[in-house]
Structure 1
């Protein structure tokens, strides 16, 4: 029976494996290309928004997992409700992300205020089901019960913060995908150790297409993730932490992202930190 749970992981992997080359080819045909700041002279020859394929593969893999739970395992618990809340968050942010990518290609993308608003809007499914546990153990303060403030304040801050911060620490070939693979692998292990095996499988269903994407995104990149991927990974990390009740672990992991966000805020989020590509294919300090 448990072997059936491998199928959603394989499905998301194979869908991404088949879809990514086709996406790259189609982007080149229609000119949906971005400059590669990690290559000498910054050629505009890299396919955009490859995260779209990753997200579609993930969603279909998770829906297949729900099908197994419903018709084969016939699980009586309320996990399916949490799964659909998770999918709703991912779907909202992926749609906003791909929209921002397309608008950015032609018109400069969505404003920062709109991005924050939509990230907040994406947290509504979690608020609606009262996800997570309102009691949290805070260092030096002990256990605090946030009550109604947890769904109304902590959850939106978590989703908005993780989505925004993960999107900021980016810019190198393979960086976003590589970080996502590492973080989600660790959080999947944490979920398994804390008894949330369904979250473990959820993480693995995302890791599988990310591995395929990383192959095409590592230097020299053939495709970029776009906001459709960075927003999705950031949100998934937040949602897993909330539903699995390991928010403190996720916060610890996000320390580099928080620091990077602080550095970017000094430049009012208008400055970039790309390295300088040289003729030998390497990167020099800017």
Structure 2
């Protein structure tokens, strides 16, 4: 399996998808590591923390199914509706274990929200949103597994953003562990299990980034995108900081919002576009798409007008052919 790098002068084939190899190494390491956190309870069946073991196994099941989905996408080029359905199914083992373990579905209302709504509504400090929290976690999983895949197409971008996010989340876990101090503190185990999943992932991603950065010697493929997104979603749910994870995904959220007109066909623009390569200067520039103004829908026209006004869109109009070029 190979692909051609359209951001280079040379059109030599590049191995793809190397994300499968990294994911396989990651799973081997995680499977070998399973008994290590529970060595102190071996021989003490009555005190064995079965709920913690279930949490680890459910996370591995969800990650394994995400890797399978990514490999299927590499082979079969799945449609978008499948990319929304399969991650939802992959989340079920994790959410079921979260439910039967009696984990909290209470969220803290931000103080600024309570202050703004205080004249009209008196909100408590915490709210138990019950089943809605499971819907939110399912949406987090679906978003994360697709967010890395949407923001892609440049050498080192997929592996680079995953490396930055995983390293940042690892640092967040370490800071929380230092704050908690005692192993018996509430939440200590949650951040430990998050690091169990994150540290091998960060190491594998760092090696992959070394070969994937410009000029890339390998492509990561969709397998890596789904694997990385699911891993980050799993550690946030097991670590009980799924809302905090969204702060680390701000660039991906902005990219998703910016891409919605393309995803929902409000603008006749291809969804999969690469930067425009100039072989004379060996540089890349913004990609462009041409279409007729008559092809624009009302919401599409409004979106183009807003983005053009704030400088987020470069647009040229050709009156003779009634063609619009957007970048």
Q: Where on the TM-score scale, by shorter chain, does this alignment land: which range?
A: 0.7 to 0.9
Task: Tell me how far apart the structure 2 counterparts of residues 208 and 85 of structure 1 sit (CA, whole Å).
Answer: 22
Cα deviation, residue 145, structure 1: 1.1
Q: Which residue of 2 aligns with 1:7?
A: none
Higher relative contact order (CA 8 A, sep 6+): 1
Cα deviation, residue 264, structure 1: 1.8
Q: Would the aligned equivalents of 1:277 and 1:284 in 2 still touch at CA under 8 Å? A: yes
Q: Which residue of 2 aligns with 1:237?
A: 232
Task: Tell me how far apart the structure 2 counterparts of residues 225 and 168 of structure 1 sit (CA, whole Å).
Answer: 14
Task: Tell me how far apart the structure 2 counterparts of residues 244 and 192 of structure 1 sit (CA, whole Å).
Answer: 12
Name the SS of the counterpart of 1:58 in structure 2: helix
Q: Which one has the largest radius of gyration?
A: 2
Name the SS of the counterpart of 1:136 in structure 2: strand
* TM-score (ref. length: structure 1): 0.80
Which structure 1 segments of 5+ residues have no match?
1-31, 104-108
Q: Which residue of 2 aligns with 1:246?
A: 241
Task: Tell me how far apart the structure 2 counterparts of residues 114 and 193 of structure 1 sit (CA, whole Å).
Answer: 38
Name the SS of the counterpart of 1:250 in structure 2: helix
2:126 to 136, 143, 154: 143
Cα deviation, residue 273, structure 1: 4.2
Q: Would the aligned equivalents of 1:189 and 1:200 in 2 still touch at CA under 8 Å? A: no
What per-residue deviation string (whole Å, max 9, x for no partner) do you get for residues 188-227 of structure 1? Answer: 1222333322211320111111111111111111211111
Q: What is the number of residues matched between the two proteins?
A: 248
- Alignment RMSD, CA only? 2.0
Q: Would the aligned equivalents of 1:33 and 1:44 in 2 still touch at CA under 8 Å? A: no
1:48 aligns with 2:16: yes
Kindly report structure 1 stretches of 4+ aligned residues shifted beyond 3 Å.
70-76
Task: Tell me how far apart the structure 2 counterparts of residues 271 and 257 of structure 1 sit (CA, whole Å).
Answer: 15
What per-residue deviation string (whole Å, max 9, x for no partner) do you get for residues 36-93 of structure 1? Answer: 132237x261111111111111111111211223446749333221111111111111
Task: Tell me how far apart the structure 2 counterparts of residues 156 and 144 of structure 1 sit (CA, whole Å).
Answer: 19
1:277 aligns with 2:277: yes
What per-residue deviation string (whole Å, max 9, x for no partner) do you get for residues 78-118 of structure 1? Answer: 32211111111111110011011012xxxxx1111111100
Q: Which residue of 1 aligns with 2:318?
A: none
Name the SS of the counterpart of 1:221 in structure 2: coil
Task: Tell me how far apart the structure 2 counterparts of residues 73 and 189 of structure 1 sit (CA, whole Å).
Answer: 28
Cα deviation, residue 277, structure 1: 2.4
Q: Would the aligned equivalents of 2:276 and 2:285 in 1 still touch at CA under 8 Å? A: yes
Matches within 5 A, 1:176-187: 176-187=158-169
Q: Would the aligned equivalents of 2:159 and 2:208 in 1 still touch at CA under 8 Å? A: yes
Which structure 2 segments of 5+ residues have no match?
115-124, 177-187, 265-269, 288-327
Is the helix fraction higher in 1 or 2?
Answer: 1
Name the SS of the counterpart of 2:48 in structure 1: coil
